[in-house]
Structure formats: structure tokens, C-alpha cells
Amino acid sequence: MSDTTCHMSISLDGFVAGPHQSREHPLGMRGQELHGWHIGDPRATTADREATAWLMRPRGAYIMGRNMFGPIRGEWDEDWHGWWGAEPPYHAPVFVLTHHTRDPIHLDGGTSFHFITDGFAAAYAAARAAAGDGGVDIAGGASTVRQALAAGVIDELTLDIAPVLLGAGERLFDGIESFDFEPVEVLHSPLTTHIRYRRRA
């Protein structure tokens, strides 16, 4: 599928990460509470497993922000290769938005990280070229998704709405003035309501 997709877990009050993201808390304080449906909560149901299959379906390329790639800020003064170990789950090129140049990183399983300093449009063009017919996924975080929404490039948006109030952190829709999507599928469990949206024709 050559569509551009995005799949995000979100709190009831609109946050996709809690405050104070750090090496110890990559999703911010309490951010992990948004992800129990696919990371180990024993209450996960068949609906959660189906939504996990949506999340993990192979894509031709990915785009993410630097905050999602890791906790390092400023110049690349540490040999950081991402949160995911020697074989990240992407198995495709990943284009990381950053203000600081860095050579590409090639890891096991076909994942390569490419660092783009020319902004979202350049990253998206590179991802589309790399993906071919495989499609592009906007992997996060909030700022990157907002840029993709503002650019109008997302065809399918899935939100996993956890019954959690974070109160602060990274809000997904700040500055987004319209929501040009309609729901096409809904799954639910005690942990999360999964809503898959498609861009209106």
C-alpha cells in the first residue's frame, strides 16, 4: 500500500507523551500508560492484538523526529543508534528530522537511519522515493505528526485513545486548525479505543 499512514497512542486530553522526556522516561512521565495495549498489559484483548497488527504492518519508509530517535540534544556528541537495539523494528529506511548533520546509520534487519536537516518536506520526499510502492509511515513524535498533518500528506491516521489524563506533555493537535478525516473502523478494549481514520475524498 503506497498510502502515507500514521499510528499514535494518545491520552483523553490529547497528549502523546508525558512531560519531562528523558533517557529514563523516553515517553515522558506516565507516557507508558498510553501503550499498555501493545506492550505487555495482561488485559490486552483480541481488539488490541488486531490494532497491534495495524501498527506493525511493514512500510516502505518511515519519518520520525529527533526526540523520538533518542534523548540527545544539540550536536551528535554520543554514538547513539536509537532506543531499539541492534535490530530496530522498522526493517526499512527511517528519515530523522534534525538540525544537526550526521552520517547514516545502518543496522541489522534492514533498518537504516538517515538524518535530514532540510525540514519535513525534504524528509517526506526522500521517504517517498525510498518507499516505492511500500508507502510511508509518520512514526512520531507529536511535532513531526503535526508537520505531516499541516502538509496534508497523511492518508490514514490511527489513534489509540487510552482512558488516561496526563495533564501535560506533548499534545498532538496543537496548532492544527482542521481535521479532514472520517472514521472507518473502531475497535475497543478495557485499555484503549482504537479508531482508524481515512482522509475524506
* pLDDT per residue as tens, the chain (201 positions): 589 999 999 999 999 999 998 888 989 999 999 999 999 899 999 999 999 999 999 999 999 999 999 988 889 988 899 999 999 999 999 999 999 999 999 999 999 999 999 999 999 999 999 999 999 999 999 999 999 999 999 999 999 999 999 999 999 999 999 999 999 999 999 999 999 999 998
CA distances in angstroms from 135 to 22, 66, 72, 165, listed in the order given: 31, 21, 29, 33
Host domain of residue 137: 4-71+88-199
Structural domain contains residue 17:
yes
C-alpha cell at 92: 526499512
Which residues lie across from 116 on neighbouring strands? 97
pLDDT of residue 1: 57
Overall domain count for the chain: 1
Structural domain contains residue 82:
no
Structural domain contains residue 106:
yes
Structural domain contains residue 141:
yes
Structural domain contains residue 107:
yes
| Verdict on whether the full-model pTM lies above 0.75 | yes
Q: DSSP character for 59?
A: -
Yes or no: say if 110 and 61 are a contact pair by the CB < 8 Å rule. no
Yes or no: say if 155 and 183 are a contact pair by the CB < 8 Å rule. no
**What's the rounded Cα separation, in Å, for the pair 62 and 5?**
9
C-alpha cell at 103: 552520517
Structural domain contains residue 170:
yes
Structural domain contains residue 78:
no
Grid cell 488490541 in the structure block, residue: 48
CATH code of the domain containing 133: 3.40.430.10
Q: Which are the contacts of 54, defined by CB distance < 8 A and separation ≥ 6?
A: 7, 158, 194, 196
Structural domain contains residue 101:
yes
CA-based nearest residue to 112, from 92, 135, 86, 129: 92
C-alpha dihedral, 65 to 67 to 69 to 73, nearest 10°: 120
